[in-house]
Amino acid sequence: MNIIAITACPTGVAHTYLAEANLKKNAKKMGVDILVETQGAVESEYILTSDDIKKADTVLIAADKVIDLSRFSGKKIIRVPVTRAAKDAQGLLNDILSGKIKSELLELKNSRSHSESESTDQSRSWLSQIYVHLITGVNLMIPFVVAGGILIALSFSFGITAATPGDPHFSPLAKMFSDIGGGAAFALMLPILSLGISKSISGNMGIVSGAVGGMLAIHTGSGFLGALLAGFLAGYVTFAIVKYVNLPKALAGLKPILIVPLLSVLITGALMIFVVGEPIKVLLQALTTFLENLGNTNAAIMGLLIGMMVAFDMGGPLNKTVCMFAIGLMSSGIYEPIAACMAAGMVPPLGIALATLLFRQKFTHQERETGKVTWVLGLSFITEGAIPYAVADPLRVIPAIVAGSGLAGALSMALGCGSRAPHGGIFVMFIPNVITHVVAYACAIAAGAILTALILRFVKKDCQELPQEG
């Protein structure tokens, strides 16, 4: 069978390329011809040509974000989550070859080149569609959050109030960092999130209503939760207008430049102001009050849950959802959950790297060599560094990393550690005033990594491969 594939994950980093590598490796073992195009953060090494598409028997879409399928019209399409290709490429290819996974003929019925065909959309569950729209918005928002958050963190290195004119510690440089990071990049977080969700649902027509809905989330005080709802409202309102509002041919040209933006912005805005804004604002205020008043025990329990969820799928949907929730709380001035997320996300690769160093007999030579890189991934808050080990031995590795991350998250929350940067791993710990209780935070991360390594020591079997050095 001749297979062509596209791999893509929401952030376009680890899962995209792990899926590509595993598909190629297992296809070679099985004697299957496969060509893989990645749609990630880095330009794909190979772009599928029209000749490749023509010759292909099956098109495999291993993706957790919207993919343009317009060039595959008339081909048999199989869709799976990118995590399946990353973790079980052999089983996936076996199911395709045996016909266990049913393909469907893709026939593009309209010009919706920005997303999948209607037939493909209808075959997916509504929950799956909601997740894809949500994660598309988050994926668009994250660079703004990371860039803005780290610039804000740099401004705090001059002093917590150094960006305030008239303050004794005022610094023009600190104010510049704060204005760029907080006043511009971070301020765009909610409109960009809402815009991304709306665009995923209704294409380019949804950009205006999505952005306006996100701004109204700020103005109504409904914050992150309001922006989420605004994105879905704007997207589906715009989609309905595009689909059901028909104009005479003489006026059709007004639809994209006047009718759709005007009606979608008006309806979305009215719903945000009169229906959504106030209830979500009250809910957000209640959540903020609850989190601010958490005692040490309750904070530890929350941190434990955050840590376990962050580690469980190592950068997958659950991980992204929890981190997204924590980033949203940052906009409300609550910095402890994002600190717990970052600590928990660093632990899986760090704990495994530590185990490859201390308990070498438990790992193959290749795994020990990979462990040297895994240190860097862990320190950089790239949880996906643990995936190769989890794929090789999931029943032992996943419980170990979940336990370690749970401990790190619990300790981080219980000790009152907060982070004013949403990313950066260990490197932001060296910026003054960014991490609250930085020594306790480092201890929480270390404790989680040590627990993961110790669990692996006792649950993993000794590797039977002949020892190699170097």
| Among candidate residues 205, 207, 162, 153, the one with its CA nearest the CA of residue 182 | 153
Concatenating the DSSP letter of every residue in 329-358 gives HHTTT--HHHHHHHHHHHHHHHHHHHHHHH
305-to-68, 313, 334, 340 alpha-carbon distances in Å:
36, 14, 17, 10
Cβ-based neighbours of 341, under 8 Å, separated by 6 or more: 306, 310, 322, 323, 326, 409
Which residues on adjacent β-strands are paired with residue 105? Answer: 76
Amino acid of residue 3: I
Helix (H, G, I), strand (E, B) or coil at 294: coil
Structural tokens at position 397: 């590795």
Structural tokens at position 218: 């700020």
Among residues 9, 323, 341, 417, which one is catalytic? 9
Cα(296)–Cα(315) distance, integer angstroms? 27
DSSP state of 256: I
Which residues on adjacent β-strands are paired with residue 437? Answer: none
Total residue count of the chain as it appears in this document: 470
User: Which ranges of 157-222 does DSSP label H, i.e. alpha helix?
Assistant: 172-178, 189-202, 207-219
417 is catalytic: no
- What does the longest C-alpha to C-alpha distance in the chain come to? 78
Query: Catalytic residues, which ones?
Result: 9
